[in-house]
């Protein structure tokens, strides 16, 4: 999967997690910039991404995430593994 394919798939996950809203997933996007992306919905989002791509994150990977760009990079790395 290319980075843009991952981004496109993640858009579906974000839409499902955040009440059907279309969210533009720029690399620099952070949780603070998305209404409703809080500590509660963050884990819901992570679980949904794990189900979508059929892998499991580690706690360290979650802890290191700073923005959507890093999330895409982690997914990309795990898809290649």
Partner 1 sequence: MLFTEARFYVFLLAALMLFWAAQPTARARLLLALSVAYCLLSSLQGSAWLGTAMLVTWAGSRRMLAFPVDSSGRARWLMLSVAALVGMLAFAKFGPKLLPPVTTWVAGEGSLGGLPMGISYFTFHCLGYLLDIHWSKEKPMHAESLALYLSFFPKAVMGPIARSGTFQEQASNLASLRLPAGEGVSAVFQICIGLFLKFVLADRIMLFVNGCFTTPGQSGVPGLLGAVMFCWQLYYDFFSYSLIAVGTGRLFGIRLPNNFNRPFFATSVSDFWSRWHISLSSWFQEYLYTPLRFRLRRKRRLALFVASMTTFLAIGIWHGTGWTFVVLGLLNGFLVTAEALYPKLREAPKSKWLLMPRMAFTFLLIASTLVLFRAPTLAEAGSVYSNYFSFHPGSVKAVIGLLSKFDWLLLAFFGCIVEVLTWKQLIQGDPDGCSWIARIPSSLQTWVLALVLAMTWALGMFGKTTFLYNQF
Nearest approach, Cβ of 42 to partner 1 (angstroms)?
Answer: 7
**Contact by Cβ (8 Å): 22, 65:** no
The rounded distance, in Å, linking the Cα atoms of 12 and 30 is 17
Task: Give residues in contact with partner 1 (CB under 8 A).
Answer: 38-40, 42-43, 46-47, 57-60, 62-64
Q: Which is nearer to partner 1, 2 or 59 (CB)?
A: 59
Nearest approach, Cβ of 13 to partner 1 (angstroms)?
Answer: 15
Q: Which is nearer to partner 1, 54 or 59 (CB)?
A: 59
Q: What share of the chain is helix, strand, coil (3-state, %, to 5)?
A: 65, 0, 35
Q: Which is nearer to partner 1, 60 or 81 (CB)?
A: 60
Nearest approach, Cβ of 63 to partner 1 (angstroms)?
Answer: 4
């Amino acid at each position: 999967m290319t980075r843009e394919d991952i981004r496109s798939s993640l858009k579906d996950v974000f839409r499902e997690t955040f009440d059907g809203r279309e969210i533009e997933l720029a690399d620099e996007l952070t949780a603070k910039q998305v209404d409703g992306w809080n500590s509660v919905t963050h884990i819901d989002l992570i679980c949904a991404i794990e189900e979508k791509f059929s892998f499991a994150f580690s706690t360290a990977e979650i802890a290191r995430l700073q923005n959507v760009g890093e999330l895409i990079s982690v997914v990309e790395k795990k898809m290649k593994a």
